[in-house]
Amino acid sequence: MYLLSKTLLGGLLAGVALSVAAQEQNFNLDIPAQPLAAALEALRTQTGIHVFYAEEAVKGKTGAALVGSFTVRQAVANLLAGSGLVHTFTTSDTVAIKRADVGSDAAATMPAVNVIGNSLYDPNDPYNTDYSRGNASTATKTDTPIMETPFSIKTVPQQVMKDQQAVRLEQALENVSGVTSTRTSGASNGSQSATMIRGFQTYEFYRDGSRFPGGWVQNGPRELANIEQVEVLKGPASILYGRLEPGGLVNLVTKKPSATPYYSLQQQFGSFNFYRTTADATGAISKDKSLLYRVNLDYENAGSFRDFVSNERGFLAPTFHWQISDRTEANVHLEYQHNKSTPDNGLFALGNRPVNLPRERYLGEPGSKFESESFVAGLDWSHAFSDNWSVRHRVDITSVLKNEGTPYASPYDETGCTPDSCPVGRYGLANKNPANVYYTTLDLLGNFNTWGIKHSVLFGGDYQRMDDRYRFSMGFPITSIDAYRPVYNGIDPKLLTVNGGFNLNEEWFGLYAQDQIELPHHIHLLAGFRYDNARVSNHNLNGGTEVISTTRATPIKPRVGILYQPIPEVSIYGNYVENFGLQNGVNFADNSPLPPTTAEQWEAGIKTELFDKRLTTTFAWFDITKQNIAIPMFGNLGYNEVVGEARNQGLEFDVSGELLPGWKVIGAYSYIDSKMTKDVAGVQGNKLWNVPRNAGSLWTTYEFLGGDLQGLKVGGGVQVRDQREGDKANSFQLPGYATVNLMTSYTMKVAGTRLTTQFNVNNLLDKWYYDSAAGWSDRTQGIMPGEPRNFMGSVRVEF
Prediction pTM value: 0.84
Mean pLDDT of all residues in 526-551:
79
Which residues make up the CATH 2.40.170.20 domain(s) of the chain? Answer: 207-798
| Closest listed residue to residue 654, CA positions, set 700, 696, 610, 612 | 696
Paired with 770 in beta bridges are 785
* Residue range 181-203, pLDDT digits in tens: 876 544 434 455 788 999 998 88
Interval 392-419 mean pLDDT: 79
Question: Model confidence over 552-581: pLDDT tens digits?
Answer: 889 999 999 999 999 999 999 999 999 988
Query: pLDDT grade, residue 709 (50/70/90)?
Result: very high
> Is the predicted pLDDT of residue 105 greater than 70, yes or no?
no
- In one letter, which amino acid is 75? A
Q: How far is CA 8 from CA 3, 15, 22, 386, 614, in A?
A: 9, 11, 21, 52, 19
Residue that wins the pLDDT comparison between 531 and 583: 531
Residue 708: DSSP 8-state? G
Count CA within 13 A, CB hemisphere, residue 520.
Answer: 3
Domain with CATH 3.55.50.30 in the chain: 20-114
pLDDT > 70? residue 36: yes
Burial state string for 105-125 with b = 16 or more CB within 10 A and e = fewer than 16: ebeeeebebebbebbbbebbb
Q: What's the CATH number for 207-798?
A: 2.40.170.20
Between CA 693 and CA 698, with CA 694 as vertex, the angle to 5 degrees is 155
Q: Which amino acid is at 26?
A: N
Residue range 526-538: average pLDDT?
A: 91
As a whole number of angstroms, the distance between CA 310 and CA 315 comes to 17
- Quickly state the pLDDT bin for 112 (edges 50, 70, 90): very low
The sign of the CA dihedral 137, 140, 141, 143 is: negative
Tell me, what's the pLDDT at 693?
Answer: 97
Residue 667 near residue 160, CB atoms below 8 Å = no
In angstroms, rounded to a whole number, what is the distance separating the alpha carbons of residues 93 and 747?
Answer: 12
Q: How far is CA 111 from CA 37, 65, 117, 205, 415, in A?
A: 18, 17, 15, 44, 78
Tell me, what amino acid is at 490? G
Q: How confident is the model at residue 273 (pLDDT cuts 50, 70, 90)?
A: very high
Question: Could you tell me if 526 and 515 are in contact, meaning their C-beta atoms sit under 8 angstroms apart?
Answer: yes
- For strand 85-91 and strand 113-114, is the pairing parallel, antiparallel, or unpaired? parallel
Is the pLDDT at 1 greater than 80, yes or no? no
For residue 56, give the H/E element and its range.
Answer: helix 55-58
pLDDT of 121 above 60: no
Of 9-23, 178-192, 353-367, 767-781, give the lowest mean pLDDT range. Answer: 9-23
Of 672 and 114, more confident = 672
Say what the pLDDT of residue 794 is.
98
Hey, which of 362-371, 629-638, 691-700 has the most confident mean pLDDT? 691-700
**The pLDDT of residue 690 is above 60:** yes
Distance of CA 353 to the CA centre of its chain: 31
Half-sphere exposure of 338 (CA within 13 A, CB side): 7
pLDDT of residue 137: 86
CATH class of this structure's domain 20-114: alpha beta
Looking at residue 588, its pLDDT comes to 57
More confident call, 429 vs 47? 47
pLDDT at 707: 86
User: Percentage of the chain surpassing pLDDT 90?
Assistant: 50
Max intra-chain CA distance, the chain: 86
For 136-183, the DSSP string reads ESTTTSS-EEGGG-SS-EEEEEHHHHHHHT--SHHHHHTTSTTEEEEE
Please tell me which residue, 224 or 639, carries the higher pLDDT value.
224
Instruction: Find the mean pLDDT for residues 636-648.
Output: 74
712-755 pLDDT, tens digit each: 999 999 999 999 999 888 999 999 999 999 999 999 989 889 99
- Alpha-carbon distance 306 to 302, whole Å? 12
First to last CA, the chain: 42
| Mean pLDDT for the chain overall | 84
Q: For residue 107, is pLDDT > 50?
A: no
By three-state DSSP, how is residue 764 classified?
coil
Give the residue-averaged pLDDT of 419-448: 87
The tens digit of pLDDT for each residue in 205-259 reads 899 988 876 655 566 678 899 999 999 999 988 888 887 889 999 999 999 999 9
Average pLDDT over residues 110-133: 60
369-384 and 113-114 as β-strands: parallel, antiparallel, unpaired? unpaired
Average pLDDT for residues 429-437, to the nearest whole number? 81
| DSSP character string of 177-206 | TTEEEEE-TT-TTSTTEEEEETTEEE--EE
Q: Beta 311-323 vs 353-354: how paired, if at all?
A: unpaired
